[in-house]
Amino acid sequence: MNDYHEMPPSAHRLELTGREQMTISGVEDVERFDESSIVMTTTAGVLVIMGEDLHIGKLSLDGGELHVDGRVDSLAYEDGGRESGGGFLRRLFG
């Protein structure tokens, strides 16, 4: 049997379907969200999703899973504070 779909709870996975539906696992916290951006902490670092009409359809922090609907324009992982100026999020959301 292939246990490929059974991942440990802390595993981070991103599945994007047609730029309009996304499932993210390994989510630890949602720091901020609105219709144009979602910022979350994942087991792989801080993830920033940018787009239009973004909506969180389902959020299960116990299971670490998040479902997003809307048009996804970009996905970016923050560098984890390597820059002395406060990093990408500080510049983006000031």
pTM of the model: 0.74
Of 59, 61, 72, 55, residue with least CA distance to 15: 72
Q: What is residue 84's predicted lDDT score, i.e. its pLDDT? A: 42
Measured distance CA(86)–CA(70) in Å, rounded: 29
In CATH, the number for domain 13-80+88-93 is 2.60.40.2000
Average pLDDT over residues 65-87: 77
Buried b vs exposed e over 34-57: b needs ≥16 C-beta within 10 Å?
A: eeebbbbebeeebbbbbbeebeee
For residues 60-64, average pLDDT: 84
How much is the pLDDT for 73? 96
- Band of residue 94 on the pLDDT scale cut at 50, 70, 90: low
Domain ranges of the chain: 13-80+88-93
Question: Given this model, what pLDDT does residue 33 score?
Answer: 94
